[in-house]
Structure 1
């Protein structure tokens, strides 16, 4: 039997690569306040916008698309749902039946997840690893405020805080930025854990002030408004945009389907 002898220096390099972290501490993208962005989750992604970052679907976006966007100087945030089961996703079979709750209102093929479940968390870890393998700069985990609704489970606000902090810690451990999505009541408590916030209709629902802690911490708030009046009435849109600029938010007026049928930006 032949025994292969490695030089000690080579052995040290191999051991170092096995046990050292993939990323240095604090080594991930941090978007600035008033960052420009485009959000498209449906249809063929329009790559032509002159913005700082794109927010696109993790599963539906190819590595080639992500690389093209990055080659043009853009950062890429990858979307997935962290709080709901979607029956069309390729990893849908990985969820246990006991972890599937009630159907989401308006979304018949989605069900709430038990965010306390270790199996649910394992699926999310694999999704984070997928984001790394595809080269995403960050992630947008959706439906992370389910404690506020009737999910079919009995978890509370503290369970949501624990789950959201779990997602943030796991993202950062992989060198990924992470955004807090639609969780206004916990935004202040979580602003130190997340790198930016994404909110929908915060002007329509008078929730924008809930995210002021992000701006104070030098972290952007990316907001999307869907009211048709902002499309049809320039005066109404300008009034809303004036408020957005005063708050230093990055606000877009988009179709609720997020399919790039139109796009209006409050930023210059």
Structure 2
């Protein structure tokens, strides 16, 4: 049953029973070697223990698997599956992410709209659990920063709390994606269990995540914009224990330009 999302739900604790469900969940293994496969699924390299894949893919067998869900913007190719009322509008047109022009911002500004958005996203979360994933990560928590004031952090926090609660009820850990400046409030008020970050070492903001989530931080660095060598990033004590270097397009191994490197060598 969906409730009107008028405020933030309190967080639940990993590895404890969720109310009325008997559900439990676990965070990614501390110091695990990650791979990030949103561009296409393939067999993980030897030693990899954590794999992130899109919700449309099957989880990688034998490893801790994280399911990617674009919870606050439309997924590429799925624009037409959303009611126009649930897309943020400006001057009669949908507002798109300037960095991802095929992703429209969802309108989280009212309780009714947040409830309707949750009704569309929660079945995806349940599908991740049914497929056998261990966790789900929610992308674009920071759409309010791209809305010219139409959305507020509190709007996205309220929706995030409902999505985290839905994940916990089907025994999935819930991962915060990026949004370093909001890590503390997303953990405390929305109940996120771990973080998935992009380029926190490149931008020197990893401490914002590790201060909140400790070792439960998965970082993806990209090979096209390294301010220093990946080896130096791995040796930096401020870097998360779980870090991977990938190509920006997250290609599969057979594609030209594929990059995969971990701190384990």
Structure 2 length-normalised TM: 0.78
> In structure 2, which of residues 154, 158, 164 is the aligned counterpart of residue 158 of structure 1?
154
Higher relative contact order (CA 8 A, sep 6+): 2
| 1:100 aligned onto 2:92 | no
Which protein has the larger Cα radius of gyration, Structure 1 or Structure 2? Answer: 1
Aligned partners of 2:27, 2:21: CA distance in 1, in Å? 15
Distance 1:149 1:28, change over 3 A: same
Q: Provide the rounded CA distance (Å) in 2 between the counterparts of 1:82 and 1:49.
A: 31
Counterpart residue number, 1:264: 261
Alpha-carbon distance between aligned partners in 2 of 1:201 and 1:156, rounded to the nearest angstrom: 25
Please give the residue correspondences for 1:113-262 in structure 2 after superposition, counting only pairs within 5 Å: 113-116=106-109, 117=113, 118-150=115-147, 154-192=150-188, 193-216=191-214, 219-228=215-224, 230=226, 236-243=229-236, 245-260=237-252, 261-262=258-259
| TM superposition outliers: structure 1 runs of 4+ over 6 Å | none
User: Which residue number corresponds to residue 32 of structure 1?
Assistant: 29
**Cα offset, 1:50, TM superposition:** 2.3
Q: Which runs of 5+ in 2 are unaligned?
A: 1-17, 89-94, 253-257
> CA-to-partner distance for each residue in 1:56-91, whole Å, 9 max, x for gaps?
0111x14xxx3xx33xx21211112001113524xx
Q: Is the 8 A contact 2:201 2:239 kept in 1?
A: no
Equivalent-residue separation in structure 2 for 1:239 and 1:94 (angstroms): 44
Gaps of 5+ in 1: 1-19
Deviations 1:86-116 (A, max 9, x none): 3524xx5442102223111132221111124
Q: Post-superposition shift, 1:146? A: 1.0
CA distance in 1, matches of 2:185, 2:106: 22
Shift of 1:119: 1.5
What is the total number of aligned residue pairs between the two structures? Answer: 231
C-alpha displacement at 1:247, in angstroms? 4.2
TM-score (norm 1): 0.77
Maintained 8 Å contact 1:224/1:254: yes
SS in 1 for 2:26: coil
1:79 to 53, 56, 68: 68
Is the CA contact (8 Å cut-off) linking 1:41 and 1:258 kept in structure 2? yes
